[in-house]
Amino acid sequence: MKLTLIKPNIGRREHSLYVDEGRMEPLQLGILAALTPPDVEVVMYDDRMEKIPYDEPTDLVAITVETFTARRAYEISAEYGKRGVKVIMGGMHVMLIPDEVAEHCDSIIVGDAEPVWAEMIGDCRKGALQKRYLAVQPECPQTGVITRRDIFENKGYLPITLMQFSRGCSHQCSFCASSVYFKARHYCRPVADVVAEIRAQKRKLIFFVDDNITCNHQKAKELFRALIPLRIRWVSQGSLDMLNDPELMRLLVQSGCLGMVIGFESISPECIDEIEKNTNRSGAKQMYSSEIKQLRKWGLQTWAAFTLGHDGDTPESIRATCDFAIRNKFTFAAFNILMPYPNTPLYAKMEEEGRMLYDKKWWLHKNYRFNYSSFVPKSMSADELTELAFECRRRFNSLWSVFKRVWEPRTNLRTPYRFFTYLVYNPLFRKEVFKKQGMQFGLQSGENTL
């Protein structure tokens, strides 16, 4: 039997193809490969930079789907369908809206693949693939499974190893798709498995793609203690409440943490209340001054993430958010328009208030473009919000801002390595800002909604 794994791209630019130059290893496909019995041949194609050879013989195609790659995933599935090849889909979007996905393929796995993958492969061998497999969320994700990384070789990925210690987050921010997937729970892998996985690969730079690696302080401390002897460098995502626990922070730094993606979301306390981001309530009341001081003290290079277009946002507050990010010399920042992902509380609210645009299914609509507002904001038009968010990305990533932000002795200039990281990744992200803006979803302009 032969299995073909596929990571879809978002789509294309209006006038040319889009190649993701900052692409990272598709971790989920490495896990699916590892779960697959050794007698099954496995190949992987990454649509972000290579052509999919639709005519290459295969017995099953497995596609990972996020909401922003759904339209492209359905196109790929249709191509295989024309050739009579069976397609299975799984991933975040499948959990959020399984009935829609099921219309575009032969089978779906709802939830983590681990509990049902072996059964599915067995069914496929017998020619008896079921329409739907429902996975019960395992208390310990990925137990005993070491990601197969040989499938990533020679694909030009950034030289950083992706891995997970935990999945999910116990907070319940109204816009977060992951809280829906994990029902606001946080699941940790056994620390020994993570250590074994780090040892099984060669790199010393790890990106823990956890939703919130510091969600459970005790478990995080256990992990960090075990990382210290490995002498790695790592980055991940965490929430501001980690700063309230000095022992956690000491271990985090000692274990090699270079920096974190932190969801600041908004500088306005009203907006933080609106999205129910409890970890940010006290910080937002004083413009995060004590949190930023601490992040510097611990020497972390922060990737600050903001969401724009809250009901309490105005054009002035959005511009002030960008000023705040530049003034505080964050190493990187993301200015994302608030996105109503299907089945999230944010989506339900926008739908109820009649504010959804693009026939309520922006991810399938032929006129929707990457980084456009998909709803009508309260204090501005959708187009104005789209333009303001683009303006923030342009300003934060401008050459002048890159020059200004580097002068932070405790973070960006702390060591030659930190300075190097700053210099290499800022131009890369700057390029992506322009390449991705306004990208069409999928490659074909086709139907209004698929």
By CB under 6 A, name the binding residues for ligand B12: 10, 24-28, 31, 62-64, 66-68, 88-93, 96, 109, 112-114, 162, 164, 176-178, 209, 211, 336, 341
Looking at the Cβ atoms of 296 and 339, the one nearer to ligand B12 is 339
Smallest distance, ligand B12 to C-beta of residue 303, A: 9
Beta strands in 189-328 (DSSP E): 205-208, 233-238, 257-265, 303-308
Looking at the Cβ atoms of 42 and 177, the one nearer to ligand B12 is 177
Beta strands in 274-423 (DSSP E): 303-308, 332-337
The candidate with the shortest Cα–Cα distance to 13, out of 432, 448, 390, is: 432
**CA angle, corner 41, sides to 40 and 46, nearest 5?**
125
Looking at the Cβ atoms of 134 and 228, the one nearer to ligand B12 is 134
**CA angle, corner 429, sides to 202 and 343, nearest 5?**
90
**CA angle, corner 205, sides to 203 and 208, nearest 5?**
115
Q: Is 268 helix (H, G, I), strand (E, B) or coil?
A: coil
Strands 11-12 and 161-163: unpaired
Smallest distance, ligand B12 to C-beta of residue 413, A: 24
Taking each continuous run of H as one helix and of E as one strand, the counts in the chain are 17, 16
Decide: 60 and 36 in contact? Cβ < 8 Å.
no
Q: How far is Cα 101 from Cα 216, in angstroms, rounded to an integer? A: 33
Measured at CB, which residue is nearest to ligand B12?
A: 90
Looking at the Cβ atoms of 24 and 402, the one nearer to ligand B12 is 24
Smallest distance, ligand B12 to C-beta of residue 409, A: 27
Smallest distance, ligand B12 to C-beta of residue 66, A: 3
Looking at the Cβ atoms of 25 and 313, the one nearer to ligand B12 is 25
Virtual CA dihedral for 128, 130, 131, 134, nearest 10 degrees? Answer: -170
Looking at the Cβ atoms of 294 and 351, the one nearer to ligand B12 is 351
Written as six digits, the tokens of 198 are 């780090």
Looking at the Cβ atoms of 97 and 380, the one nearer to ligand B12 is 97
Q: How far is Cα 402 from Cα 384, in angstroms, rounded to an integer? A: 25
Smallest distance, ligand B12 to C-beta of residue 144, A: 13
Decide: 110 and 88 in contact? Cβ < 8 Å.
no
Smallest distance, ligand B12 to C-beta of residue 293, A: 26
Q: How far is Cα 170 from Cα 172, in angstroms, rounded to an integer? A: 7
Looking at the Cβ atoms of 40 and 287, the one nearer to ligand B12 is 40
Please state whether 186 falls in left (phi above 0), alpha (psi between -120 and 50) or beta.
beta
Q: How far is Cα 379 from Cα 314, in angstroms, rounded to an integer? A: 6
Smallest distance, ligand B12 to C-beta of residue 252, A: 18
Written as six digits, the tokens of 125 are 């061998």
Looking at the Cβ atoms of 287 and 443, the one nearer to ligand B12 is 443
Smallest distance, ligand B12 to C-beta of residue 90, A: 2
Smallest distance, ligand B12 to C-beta of residue 239, A: 12
